[in-house]
Amino acid sequence: MKNIFCLLLLLSISVVSWSQEEKPFTPSVTVKWAPTGLLLGNISLQAEYNLYARNSITGKIGLPITATRQFEYEGKDVDFTMKATSFLAGYRHYLSKKKMQGLYLEPFFKYVHHTSEGVGNGTIGTRSVTMNFTNNYNGYGIGAQLGAQFFIGKRFVIDLFFFGPEINSAKNNFKAVEISNAIPWTSIEAEDAERDIRQFIDQFPFIKNNTDVTVDRNNKTVTARFKGALPGFRAGVSFGIAL
């Protein structure tokens, strides 16, 4: 009787232990951070939710922070401080048989609002001047991303998005204002200021030949406006965890 009781007790413990074994980890959500967003002035946070089998929906939000980048104005480097707010939504289809892993194709929609400003020194006519620059960009776009996602261990995720052509409907307003003198520009100075800004804009492909430039002599301001289709390319890497 005692032996039977001990046997039943061992069987009970075995059943309980088996029932409490951890189930295989099958993630359905990933949360990631893309450090490349810091270069443009935002903290880029991404999330992915697996719908079924090899299909997921993705979302990204970019929160503005200050970043610095240099551009050339009259042969001198000008420090621009930049901030960006962005949003992206996509539908991801994996080409491999593994859930949320391997090569994928992801059509996406995105929105970006980007601002920047800087102060540079140059010459207008024969005068040394200080110019204040501001830029405001808004763009809506669609594209298709080719990438690959890998798991290291059970939870650490690396998402490499390496080929993502896109087309955007964009508006960009750039303004340069002289802040070193209160006297209005002469006609010769206005022409010189416009020429300098056109040379500055030539640094940027696609925009340089499609921008309307106007000069306000009394307010010592040159304004450059762009509106139209703007091609782009999305690439980078993000790191995160699976849940």
Residue 121 confidence (pLDDT) above 60: yes
Residue 212 confidence (pLDDT) above 50: yes
Is the domain defined by 24-242 classed in CATH 2.40.160? yes
Mean predicted confidence (pLDDT) in 151-162: 94
The pLDDT confidence band at residue 98, using thresholds 50, 70 and 90, is: confident
Instruction: Dump pLDDT digits (tens) for 163-187.
Output: 999 999 999 999 999 999 889 999 9
Give the C-alpha separation, 162 to 44, whole Å: 17
Mean predicted confidence (pLDDT) in 187-213: 91
Kind and range of the H or E element at 17?
A: helix 2-19
Mean predicted confidence (pLDDT) in 60-74: 95
Kind and range of the H or E element at 140?
A: strand 127-152
For 184, list phi and psi in degrees, rounded to 5: -60, 155
**pLDDT for residue 209:** 79
Strand pairing of 156-178 and 127-152? antiparallel
Domain residue extents for the chain: 24-242
Kind and range of the H or E element at 186?
A: none
The pLDDT confidence band at residue 42, using thresholds 50, 70 and 90, is: very high
CA distances from 220 to 23, 184, 186, 200 (A): 70, 6, 10, 17
